[in-house]
Every structure is written in structure tokens, then in C-alpha cells.
Amino acid sequence: MAEIWTPDELGRIHDADELEIATPRADGTLRDWVPIWAVCVGTHAYVRTWKRRDTGWYGQVVDSRKARIRVPGLERDVFVAAVGAIDIELRAGVDAAFPSKYGRYGRGTVERMTTEEAAATTLRLDPQPRDRTVDDP
């Protein structure tokens, strides 16, 4: 069964002003942490970039499909799923979540996150299973 975010984890992602993301190098070490905006819709967490680039965090995440994220009180490895061609209802939810969470940064800044170009970069962050030991419940 696939891992899902707990309500506490989703709350921490939602409450954090920024989520930090780091992608793995070929040798497994992490690149530098990059602060990005993240929103929660339903039981999922989503990120986007307003300026799609094949370099930088976005290109690295798309290539590896894995990353580590952190917000206060949470650090977790994630699988990354490209959902740029999302259905209309989900797109509307993600589009609405950005101004709801980040509207204080000004209309122009937030509007860039809801353009067609930005919506095409939508990525869903799915928690990777945690390593369990024999003593874990």
C-alpha cells in the first residue's frame, strides 16, 4: 500500500511559508536545499514553478522523480509525480490554493503561479515509505 500524508504532515506543509526541497545526486548525496512554495489540496501536496527550467531544482526533480523536503517539524523523502496535464477540478483547486496561501505577496507574484505555463509544471509530492525496524509498530 502506498504511503499517504498524515493530517499532521499536511498541516505542517500547509502552515509553512516555504517548503525546502533538495534533490539527490547520482551518488545519493543531496544537493543544496532550495526554498519553494507548496500548497495542499485534499490529501496531497503540490509544487510548481512559474518559470520552467531544465536546470535548477525543477529540472533536477523532474529528472530524478525523487527529492527530500523539509518544513518546520518535518523532513521526508518523497516521490515526485508530474501532473501538469491535471484535470480541470484539480487544476482549479491548486490554482486557488496559491493565492489563498500566498496572496500577501501581491497579486502579480501570485498570478504567475496560476498561469497556463506554471500549471503545466505542477508536481505532486508523495511521501516515500519510511524505513521500518523490527521494533516499529
Exposure class string for 76-103: b at 16+ Cβ within 10 A, else e: bbbbbeebeebeeebbebbbebbbebbe
- Tallying the residues shown for the chain, one arrives at 137
Number of domains forming the structure of the chain: 1
Q: What is the pTM for the complete model shown?
A: 0.89
Question: Is the pLDDT confidence value at 134 over 50?
Answer: no
Question: Is the pLDDT confidence value at 7 over 80?
Answer: yes
On average, the pLDDT of the chain sits at 89
Q: What is the pLDDT of residues 74-102, one digit of tens each?
A: 999 999 998 866 788 889 999 999 999 99
The DSSP call for residue 130 is: P
For residue 47, being part of any structural domain is answered with: yes
Helix/strand/coil for 87: coil
For residue 78, being part of any structural domain is answered with: yes
Select the more confidently predicted residue: 61 or 107.
61
Q: Residue 82 belongs to a domain with what CATH number? A: 2.30.110.10
For residue 137, being part of any structural domain is answered with: no
CA dihedral 86, 92, 93, 94 (to 10 degrees): 60
Confidence of residue 131 (pLDDT cuts 50, 70, 90): low
Average confidence (pLDDT) over 14-26: 96
For residue 16, being part of any structural domain is answered with: yes
Confidence of residue 30 (pLDDT cuts 50, 70, 90): very high
Average confidence (pLDDT) over 9-24: 97
Average confidence (pLDDT) over 102-117: 87
Determine the Cα–Cα distance for residues 126 and 54; give it in Å rounded to an integer: 21
Select the more confidently predicted residue: 83 or 52.
83
Question: Is the pLDDT confidence value at 117 over 60?
Answer: yes
For residue 55, being part of any structural domain is answered with: yes
**Domain range spanning residue 24?**
7-127
Average confidence (pLDDT) over 23-44: 95
For residue 63, being part of any structural domain is answered with: yes
For residue 109, being part of any structural domain is answered with: yes
For residue 13, being part of any structural domain is answered with: yes
Select the more confidently predicted residue: 50 or 73.
73
